[in-house]
């Protein structure tokens, strides 16, 4: 969802999320049900207690899907997948039988928000962590969700899981993440929802200035920070994976396609073919979401058939830059059968749900 307001016709994202945290060592004075207000409560890490509600169409949710898979938390935190479209009211679980999430027993994600905060006044967003015993949303603060998966759930990571928040690179990663978020992740939305020509022109210039910076930064290094994958790469990937399919045309980010930015295109292909990235990407859901939901931008709701996806499997040559995706660790195995993206939605996948090799 593109929840936000306009300031002088510039789109400004609403970032006032439910900021509760799920922590390995929560403060008892901030326990749920105590005196701490919603947004400041701390919940305990507890395998099997929480369900991650996502939609594969959403880049912010896709970020959480990738991190959960890279860390091997599938058996520790279950995942409910909403459909790609929604109305002004809520994301819905229309992919499930009878349109009801089989664990939470609800048809709309809004029901989990209302269970926690009756009359919840803000947008119903994904990703969201839901407390299964009560059916109430815990948090929808997407930056904290993925950071906590990496840092608070470490005892439950799979053997060989990557360190996506390496201590020696935290300061540099924070700077990179800040620029990628403001100028790229959110920058495409600032272009797409600009209310005037001036607002659009300024957003467009900011976006491509940042993409040019990334082209230069990644020309001689395989990953954004350090020698292996970090969350910085996850955060950039989800925007790049949607760029040609949605942002270039739908959001008018059309100076260049991703395929016309040689360094970023090779970098994106490198990530796509890394387990956890391309195999979590549902291009049909992505296109349906943007083109069907945003009727103010695309009044007809017509969804484009392209772009062709097999180019994502072309050799990228990024290995020559050194480094390796998992450092001293190992890649995750095939995704659980019930969580695999349909091959019809991503033809780069094989029957095991993994990206094919040429």
**Tens digits of residue pLDDT in 265-291:** 999 999 999 999 999 999 999 999 999
Inform me whether the pLDDT recorded for 88 exceeds 90.
no
pLDDT at 51 over 50: yes
pLDDT score for 338: 94
Report the SS3 class of residue 219: coil
Predicted confidence band of residue 142 (pLDDT cuts 50, 70, 90): very high
Angle, in degrees to the nearest 10, between helices 142-151 and 59-71: 10
User: For position 357, what pLDDT does the model report?
Assistant: 82
- The dihedrals phi and psi of 98, each to the nearest 5 degrees, come to 65, 10
* pLDDT for 5 beyond 60: no
**Residue 33 pLDDT level (bands cut at 50, 70, 90):** confident
Residue 3 has pLDDT above 70, yes or no: no
Answer whether 180's CB lies under 8 Å from 230's CB.
no
* Residue 189 a catalytic site member: yes
Single out the residue of 55, 193, 181 nearest to residue 127, CA to CA. 55
What's the order of all strands across the beta sheet hosting 50-55? 78-82, 50-55, 128-131, 136-139
- Asked whether the predicted pLDDT for residue 188 surpasses 80, the reply is yes
- The reply to whether 91 sits in an annotated binding site is yes
What per-residue confidence (pLDDT) applies to 13?
59
**pLDDT tens digits, one per residue of 293-305:** 999 999 999 999 9
Burial of 105 by CB count in 10 Å (0-12 exposed, 13-18 middle, 19+ buried)?
Answer: exposed
Judge whether 64 and 81 are in contact, CB under 8 Å. no
Q: How many contiguous H segments (helices) and E segments (strands) does the chain have? A: 9, 8
Neighbouring residues of 309: CB distance < 8 A, sequence distance ≥ 6? 283, 346, 347, 348
What value does the mean pLDDT take over residues 207-229?
A: 98
pLDDT of 227 over the 50 cut: yes
Say which of 17, 50, 58, 247 is annotated catalytic: 58
The residue extents of the domains of the chain are 4-156, 167-345
Catalytic residue among 17, 113, 189, 247: 189
Contact 75, 69 (CB under 8 A): no
Catalytic, 253? Answer: no
Domain 4-156 class in CATH = alpha beta
Strand partners, 13: 4
- 11 secondary structure, DSSP code: E
CB atoms closer than 10 angstroms to residue 60: 20
User: Looking at the chain, how many residues does it have?
Assistant: 358
Q: Band of the pLDDT at 1, cuts 50, 70, 90?
A: very low
Tell me the average pLDDT across 164-183: 98
pTM above 0.75, yes or no: yes
pLDDT at 348 over 50: yes
The H-or-E segment that residue 224 falls in is none
| Residue 326 contacts residue 162 (beta carbons within 8 Å) | yes
Tell the residue number behind the tokens 């470490």, with chain if given.
154
User: How distant is the alpha carbon of residue 264 from its chain centre?
Assistant: 18
What percent of the chain lies above the pLDDT cut of 70? 96
Lowest mean pLDDT among 83-97, 127-141, 274-288: 83-97
Looking at CATH, the fold of the domain delimited by 167-345 is given as Glutathione S-transferase Yfyf (Class Pi); Chain A, domain 2 (1.20.1050)
Predicted confidence (pLDDT) at residue 10 exceeds the cutoff of 80 = no
Number of C-beta neighbours around residue 11 at 10 A: 20
Residue 306 has, within 13 A of its CA and on its CB side, a CA count of 9
| DSSP summary character for residue 72 | T
Is the backbone peptide bond immediately before 312 cis, with ω within 30 degrees of 0? no
């Amino acid at each position: 969802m593109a929840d936000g307001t306009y300031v002088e016709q510039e789109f400004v994202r609403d970032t006032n999320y439910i900021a509760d945290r799920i922590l390995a060592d929560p403060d008892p004075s901030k326990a749920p049900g105590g005196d701490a207000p919603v947004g400041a409560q701390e919940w305990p890490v507890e395998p099997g207690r929480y369900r991650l509600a996502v939609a594969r169409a959403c880049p912010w949710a896709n970020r959480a899907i990738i991190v959960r898979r890279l860390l091997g938390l599938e058996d520790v935190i279950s995942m409910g997948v909403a459909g790609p479209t929604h109305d002004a009211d809520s994301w819905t679980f229309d992919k499930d039988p009878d349109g009801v999430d089989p664990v939470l027993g609800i048809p709309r994600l809004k029901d989990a928000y209302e269970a926690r905060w009756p009359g919840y006044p803000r947008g119903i967003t994904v990703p969201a962590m839901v407390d299964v015993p009560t059916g109430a949303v815990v948090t929808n603060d997407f930056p904290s969700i993925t950071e906590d998966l990496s840092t608070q759930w470490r005892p439950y990571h799979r053997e060989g899981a990557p360190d996506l928040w390496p201590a020696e690179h935290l300061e540099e990663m924070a700077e990179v993440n800040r620029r990628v978020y403001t100028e790229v992740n959110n920058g495409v939305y600032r272009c797409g929802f600009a209310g005037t020509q001036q607002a659009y022109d300024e957003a467009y210039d900011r976006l491509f200035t940042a993409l040019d910076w990334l082209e230069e930064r990644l020309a001689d290094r395989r990953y954004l920070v350090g020698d292996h994958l970090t969350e910085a790469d996850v955060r950039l990937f989800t925007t790049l994976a949607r760029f040609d399919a949605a942002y270039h045309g739908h959001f008018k980010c059309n100076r260049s396609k991703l395929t016309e930015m040689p360094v970023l295109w090779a970098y994106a292909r490198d990530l796509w073919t890394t387990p956890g990235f391309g195999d979590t990407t549902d291009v049909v859901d992505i296109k349906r979401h943007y083109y069907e939901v945003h009727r103010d931008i695309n009044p007809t709701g017509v969804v484009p058939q392209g772009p062709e996806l097999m180019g994502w499997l072309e050799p990228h040559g990024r290995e020559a830059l050194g480094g390796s995706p998992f450092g001293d660790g190992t890649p995750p195995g095939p995704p659980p059968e019930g969580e695999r993206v349909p091959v019809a939605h991503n033809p780069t996948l094989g029957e095991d749900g993994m990206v094919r090799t040429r």
